[in-house]
Amino acid sequence: MGVFAFKLPDIGEGVVEGEVVEWMVKVGDSINEDEPILSVMTDKATVEIPSPVDGVVKSIVGEPGTILAVGQVCIEFETDGESTPVESKEEEEEVDEESVEEIVDVEPEPAPKAKPKSTPVVVSAPGTRPLASPAVRQRARESGINLSTVSGSGPAGRITHADLDSWKDAGSPVAAAGPSRTALTGTTEIPVIGLRRKIAESMTESYSTIPHFSYFEEVDITDLETLRLHLNSTKNEDQPKLTYLPFIMQGLVKALGENPVCNALYDDEKGVVTRHDAVHLGIATQTERGLYVPVVKHVEAQDVWESASEMQRVSQAARDGTANLDELSGSTFTITSLGRMGGLGATPIINKPEVGILGVHNAVDTPVVRNGQIVVRKMLRLSSSWDHRVVDGWDGAVLVQRLKTLLENPATIFM
């Protein structure tokens, strides 16, 4: 028997360290080569690390939340071969990029029933969505299990396949119906790790280093709504259903092209602003794992149908956990949509190193005055934030007003 010491591999994109999100194995487990063993969060994405060998897990390094350096031994296996102290198979054979450079949040196949764990379990509070991977959710649906009644033993109370097994072994308990009238005193501590920690760090850096100013506007999209409904009613089967966002994306192509100071990245360490001719739009997307910003590249080369298709594709990839690093980087401007949540306004935080962000609220039938008469029009509110070191208040207002004019006269978007 030998011992194989496996180092955290070089994931690429200049990544020098990663945060342990979840170990998919434990000491004593038998594992086959290429089976997933570890989920790691980098600055760019969450990646799944496969086993380099067949063997039995001898030791692992780091609990969820631990930062591991690239090249640091993270797990040791007992193998049939000779000992390879502090050697990584990556030095002999490159890891398959497709299996590494991919965002994943998929639990391994249902494992043998787990032994009792000492990890504290967390039960979802009433009215909240239980934390679980798509694979676990699918298995629960197929088994008729209500995830809100299952205790999660994974990171931050995440429900695993083993938790489903334990729930079944306990006789499928059912949560009591009706609201509780008993005073509650319990608390749950949730470590800020993984993507949530990255979001916290990114938002703190952006808001503490960028002097934000915000600008709000209301847009009459009654004519745009008429056009949108017409296009959806006459579209081909292969064409996606249009929302307002693809029109806004096309409008931004024109507005940003006329105001290039707003389509830029600011390297504050070097003191250099890089203006971009291409329009790469980040689309802020809420997922079960937190906020991701997949990117629609080269919107300036697309029509409204292509923008809609690509936006839907990258957003769904982010939700499914299948978006790659390229699809999650390279934006020059970001759109964040509150959709049906609506709201009167917001102050979106800039996606650093970009210099602006546009918030889109829901469209509401609103009484307004036109030619001295009160009429009902469909109104859409926009909220924007700008980096005042680079974008003057006038420039931000000019861009939003140009976008307003385009959306209120939708034919001009395509001229």
Phi/psi of residue 210, nearest 5 degrees: -105, 125
Residue of 96, 267, 303, 392 marked active site: 392
Q: Which of 10, 34, 388, 395 is catalytic?
A: 388
Check whether the bond before 246 is cis (ω within 30° of 0).
no
Number of H helices, E strands in the chain: 8, 19
Residue 218: in which H helix or E strand, if any?
A: strand 212-220
Distance in angstroms (rounded) separating the CA atoms of residues 295 and 351:
12
| Residue 102: burial class (beta carbons within 10 Å; 0-12, 13-18, 19+) | middle
Q: Tell me the C-alpha distance between 38 and 316, whole Å.
A: 24
Q: Does 161 participate in catalysis according to the annotation?
A: no
**Residue 246, burial from CB neighbour count under 10 angstroms (0-12, 13-18, 19+):** buried
388 noted as active-site residue: yes
> What are the E-state strand segments in 260-322?
264-267, 272-275, 281-287, 290-292, 295-296
Are 279 and 335 in contact by the 8 Å Cβ rule? The answer is no
CB neighbours of residue 172 within 10 Å: 12
Catalytic residue numbers, as ranges: 388, 392
